[in-house]
Amino acid sequence: MDFINHQLFIKDINVHIDPILPKKTAIITHGHADHARFGHDHVIATRQTIDIMKIRYGDKCAKKFTPLRYGQKYSIKNYDFTLYPAGHILGSAQVLIEKNNHRLVITGDYKVGKDETCKNFKLVKCDTLITEATFGLPIFQHPDPKDEIQKLIRSVKINKNNCHIVGAYALGKAQRVMNLLRQQKYNETIYIHGSLEKLCQYYSKEKINIGKFEKVSSKDKNFYEGKIIIAPPSALKDRWSRRFPNPIICMASGWMTVKQRAKQQGIELPLVISDHSDWNELLDTIKKSKAKNILITHGQEDALVYYCKKQNLVSKPLSIQGRSDEEIE
């Protein structure tokens, strides 16, 4: 495990995992902006992550791309790399690195729960596990997302003269909310903020069921009564949201567990829908991985480090700069 440093850099072969700055070779776990950046020489990732990077940053966002299928081995010198589903968003992957019989897994962002918008998380046994800890506190116990989406559907039925604007991050969360609505038989057109359009089109093309959607356009104000509109969280605060009739402001995020936070942001209908594992799922993954070394990244490291030490596991936090999943969750 000493072949990789706290910045997820393997000096021996000059390979970085999810680097923030442009690098020679970058293995990218998924398309969120705090993991996938513009300007690397060589990007190694799933096909879908590469597609998403091209949609967001343009076809020339890296000089060379190597798409890998889940489970396909890729070797650089005596290092073997394999990507496995992380269950976080479309195309998301964990990275297994094997060297001299040592197995190290970098989870990237992950969730264990079922999600129709991406391949579900696969547990990979290893010696060293580098796990994220966005929701690494016991207060985070995510509810069933279907129950959360039912709250939205019920509110739409009751408040016929209002429109519901749901804040959801443009990549992953927005499409998950749409898919959850479809799973619960909400069959109306879903209206989206313009910044979501290309990604929604891509998810549709990849056969993810997000149903019929349409970009909001300046139609008669009353047109949006009784409708659901999905927008990035930043749009909830600006003038954009004021054009709609009696909007009820909703937000889909794991952070909505923290009631005070929802209140501060002016969220009337908080929906606890997360694309990260909650506390119990993090513990369960650590246990089932059989890893003896646990390194914990971006998030709430302290409680998890304490838990691991109590289990006689070697554990320490890894402080990686530039991660901001708070915004992206």
Using CB under 5 A as the criterion, which residues of the chain lie in contact with Zn ion when the complex forms?
32, 109
**219 phi-psi bin (left φ>0, alpha ψ -120 to 50, beta other):** beta
Angle, in degrees to the nearest 10, between helices 173-183 and 145-158: 70
Which C-beta is closer to Zn ion: that of 109 or that of 301? 109
Which C-beta is closer to Zn ion: that of 23 or that of 32? 32
Which C-beta is closer to Zn ion: that of 16 or that of 32? 32
Which C-beta is closer to Zn ion: that of 32 or that of 142? 32
**In the block, residue with structure tokens 């072969």:** 13
Contact 190, 213 (CB under 8 A): yes
Please, what is the minimum distance in Å from the beta carbon of residue 227 to Zn ion? Answer: 28
Please, what is the minimum distance in Å from the beta carbon of residue 113 to Zn ion? Answer: 15
Which C-beta is closer to Zn ion: that of 54 or that of 292? 54
Q: How far apart are CA 41 and CA 257, in angstroms?
A: 40
Which C-beta is closer to Zn ion: that of 268 or that of 327? 327
Please, what is the minimum distance in Å from the beta carbon of residue 144 to Zn ion? Answer: 21
Please, what is the minimum distance in Å from the beta carbon of residue 289 to Zn ion? Answer: 20
Which C-beta is closer to Zn ion: that of 98 or that of 136? 136
Please, what is the minimum distance in Å from the beta carbon of residue 275 to Zn ion? Answer: 7
Please, what is the minimum distance in Å from the beta carbon of residue 156 to Zn ion? Answer: 28
Please, what is the minimum distance in Å from the beta carbon of residue 88 to Zn ion? Answer: 6
Which C-beta is closer to Zn ion: that of 164 or that of 173? 173
Q: How far apart are CA 33 and CA 18, in angstroms?
A: 10
Contact 111, 135 (CB under 8 A): no
Q: How far apart are CA 197 and CA 170, in angstroms?
A: 9
Please, what is the minimum distance in Å from the beta carbon of residue 315 to Zn ion? Answer: 22
**In the block, residue with structure tokens 């059989």:** 290
Contact 28, 41 (CB under 8 A): no
